[in-house]
A and B are shown apart, each in its own frame.
Chain A
Amino acid sequence: MDSIGDLMAGFAVVLSWQNLLYMVIGIVLGVIIGVLPGLGGANGVAILLPLTFSMSPTSAIILLSCIYWGALFGGAITSILFNIPGEPWSVATTFDGHPMAQNGKAGEALTAAFTSSFVGALFAVIVITLAAPLVASFALQFGPAEKFSVFFLAFCSFVGMGKEPPTKTIAAMMLGFALAAVGTDTVTGQLRLTFGSHELLSGFDFLVAVIGLFGIGEILLTMEEGLSFKGKAASINPTVVWQTWKELPRYWMTSLRSCLIGCWMGITPAGATPASFMSYGIAKRTSRKGDKFGSGEIEGVIAPETAAHAAGTSALLPMLSLGVPGSPTAAVLLGGLLIWGLQPGPLLFVEQKDFVWGLIASMYLGNIVGLIIVLTMVPFFAAILRVPFSIIAPIILVICAIGAYTVHNNTFDVVMMLVFGVAGYFLKKCNYPLAPLVLAIVLGDKAEESFRQSLLISQGGLGVFFSNGLVSTIMVLGLVALFWPALSNLYARLLTPARPT
């Protein structure tokens, strides 16, 4: 195997004390960035980029990509502890992670999240190692129609679930789509739904919405219930990591499926956020404990975290081999490559072997180092919940405000955060599901964009969505996922009469 040899050479490049030190620094910085909602991985990478110009490209990319891993790990922490997703892809982690923390199981949730992240990333790196050239040519097949079908699939596998009344689910989801539409229409370049307001030019950002709906909304609910953090009494247990680990192998099926979903979404490239939602949705449908999802199921943490990391990692592949960044962070890394005189593209793997395989080797090592670092911090993170509510609440509010502001460097977003917060409180109390709303904000404009690009290419014909094997398959899978509950109901009903009661 050619690539194994290359990889070993890569390890030889990476394994120097200096590079290992960069890894540790990168991971720690990344975790900080991931924890603070105001600092995305893109910020950290962008700001350190200029500082790394004096290093060798390999060392620099190790440092920067470790920040990326660290941010991926760190995003889960605030989601679980405070219901505030530090990064978009950790929104789905809040669904069960935060209830777990409220039940006094913050340590378990964090351990599960970190371990799953590691598994997902490792799986994706193995895929990259073994199938890099193949994957790159697969990614080339994705035009607008194919992309739309992937978004469609992600959406279908998430919606249609939940105990909430269907009309409320639909209303919430459609509201999400409407919010996503505000701002510049990327296809025509026209402004829409801004009503002349300059603040609305850039539309409603997903992060502002989730910080408000989830973070602020949660604080309001906690206030109503009387000033106490549930799960405050959680004992700090240093062995929590081992105990959780003993439990994890039981969910190997969920992990494997989430890995596959994540890699697929990362390469196509739909990205980590849809991957986490899709994985959560499918886990909920297939799990025997599916109806308990949302109330603190460990499987509901494993599924989105694994998929998000598999996607986040595999998304680096299209960046390297095609020059298409899968996320804002990847975009900045891409800029960095250019500045170092490395041209991402098909030839990078041939001409810059040392660099590429050094990077891939650093993905293995960076993730291992990262896992060790974050796991040792689990008891510490869990202890944050013991800080009294009236101290931590205003601090969370401030962090939320900073997070909302930094999305567009705009104080208007802080106002919107408050509005979303109050809306989140009422919607939740009135039994409207927030997840479809949020998913619609994330996927709405991307899906619409690729839908309309497809129609431009087909000159208005809807047949483009069934024009080749790839796109038809994904569309059909999406339709199956959408009607799965109905289908399985029907199936169950057909079977019932046959069984003697």
Chain B
Amino acid sequence: MSNSPNDSSSGPRQHLVEVGVAAFMALLGVITVIGSLQVGIGWGAEGPKSGFFPFWIGLIVVATSLYNLVRAYTHGSRKLFANWHELTQVLKVVLPLTIYVGVIPWIGIYIASALLIAGFMRWIGRYSWLLTLTISIALPVVTYITFEMWFLVPLPKGPLEDLLGL
């Protein structure tokens, strides 16, 4: 963890983040409009076509988002959105979670979950290896018993489970 003095006093400004969010929403709106145009936006004899509602909804998203964008830029709060230290904290969840989500299709949800819990407890919580391992192994096992054995809900499995014949 870096603790440079700037960490708590600097960071992205609120209005700039709001501009970014509004721009992203406008983009989603544009995508919606394009998708609607592909399937037809007319109002046929039997009522609206598939793209009719999404088209207008997309347009409203674009319009309101552009308004929000301009408004945020001109009138938005100049305060900090969050300081770098706080954002680092957030990233400490987002990055492991991204990796977790990314590896589930390959190694299955059980192993991935064990790794996620162990990593989190060890590096962020700084718990002892014993407690870390206990919880990170127990939870997937309990999950397996509850979901696969009791409720017969299949969850994604990887090579290890195949090897064990589970």
Contact = CB atoms under 8 A, between A and B. Distances in A.
Nearest to A404: B101
B58 A425 contact: no
Interface string B110-132: 00010011011100111100000
B141 interface: no
Given A167-B67, A401-B100, A411-B104, A406 B155 contact: yes
Interface in B50-86: 50-51, 53-54, 57-58, 60-61, 64-65, 67-68, 71, 81-82, 86
Q: How large is the interface on A (under 10, 10 to 19, 20 to 34, 35 or more residues)?
A: 35 or more
Given A167-B67, A429-B17, A394 B117 contact: yes
Contacts of A415: 101
Contact of B57 (A32, A178, A418): A178
Contacts of B53: 177, 181, 448
* Chain B residues touching A, majority SS: helix
Interface stretch (A223-231, A247-255, A478-486): A223-231
Given A175-B25, A193-B36, A188 B50 contact: yes
Interface of B: 14, 17-18, 21-22, 25, 28-29, 31-32, 35-36, 38-39, 43, 45-51, 53-54, 57-58, 60-61, 64-65, 67-68, 71, 81-82, 86-87, 89-90, 92-94, 97-98, 100-101, 104-105, 109, 113, 116-117, 119-121, 124-127, 135, 139, 143, 146-147, 150-156
13 contacts: A47-B152, A177-B54, A188-B49, A190-B39, A193-B32, A193-B54, A226-B86, A397-B116, A402-B155, A418-B101, A422-B94, A430-B18, A455-B46
Given A394-B121, A398-B139, 9 more contacts: A47-B151, A47-B153, A170-B64, A185-B39, A394-B116, A395-B135, A398-B143, A422-B94, A455-B48
Interface of A: 32-33, 36, 38-39, 43-44, 47, 165, 167-168, 170-171, 174-175, 177-178, 181, 185, 187-188, 190-195, 216, 219-220, 223-227, 388-391, 393-395, 397-398, 401-402, 405-406, 409, 411, 414-415, 417-418, 421-422, 425-427, 429-430, 432, 448, 451-452, 455-456, 459-460
